[in-house]
Amino acid sequence: MSECIFCRIVAGELPSHAVYEDDELLVFNDIHPVAPIHWLIIPKAHVESLAHCGPEHEALLGRMLLLGARLAREHGLTDGFRTAIHTGRAGGQVVFHLHVHIVGGNESKTPIG
Ligand code: 5GP
Ligand code: ZN
């Protein structure tokens, strides 16, 4: 069994509220939302952080960002939304499985994560 909580969510070993899923990506609600919409977009395959990505992840990273914009549009975030990627301890990363935060639905800038 993986010790990575996001790998365990992908495997169905931990519950999550999924917003979107395909072969490569999973999007689910953050357990501690800072706004009415607060999603985490993750690759199903374990990648520790943005700093661990190489050229082989170029398409994956593009898909993650474009999916965030598409889902935001589909969920009515027409005035905009925030994206955040925390990288490494000094970057505030707490869960060491690459993820993009998508935050929207209000205008305040509550810190993410
Ligand atoms: P970060 O690593 O980007 O700083 O923060 C990790 C984010 O994952 C936090 O916003 C936290 O609320 C969220 N998180 C941590 N554990 C879980 C979990 O088990 N389920 C869900 N849905 N979100 C989680
Ligand atoms: Zn993982």
* Adjacent-strand bridge partners of 26: 21, 42
φ and ψ of 19, to 5 deg? -105, -30
Q: Whose CA is nearest to atom 10 of ligand 1?
A: 113
| 79-96 pLDDT, tens digit each | 999 999 999 999 999 999
Q: How many CB atoms lie within 10 A of CB 67?
A: 19
Q: Is 99 assigned a catalytic role? A: yes
pTM for the full predicted model: 0.97
Residues with CB under 5 A from ligand 2 (ion): 4, 6-7, 46, 97
- H helices present in the chain, as ranges: 5-10, 58-74
**CA-CA distance, 99 to 45, in Å (whole number)?**
11
Give distance in angstroms: CA of 76 to centre of ligand 1: 23
Domains in the chain with CATH codes: 5-104 (3.30.428.10)
Which is it for the CA torsion 81, 87, 91, 93, positive or negative? positive
Residue 105 binned pLDDT confidence (cut-offs 50, 70, 90): very high
Q: Whose CA is nearest to atom 9 of ligand 1?
A: 113
Name the strand (E) or helix (H) holding 21: strand 18-21
Could you tell me if 37 and 105 are in contact, meaning their C-beta atoms sit under 8 angstroms apart? Answer: yes
| 13-29 pLDDT, tens digit each | 999 999 999 999 999 99
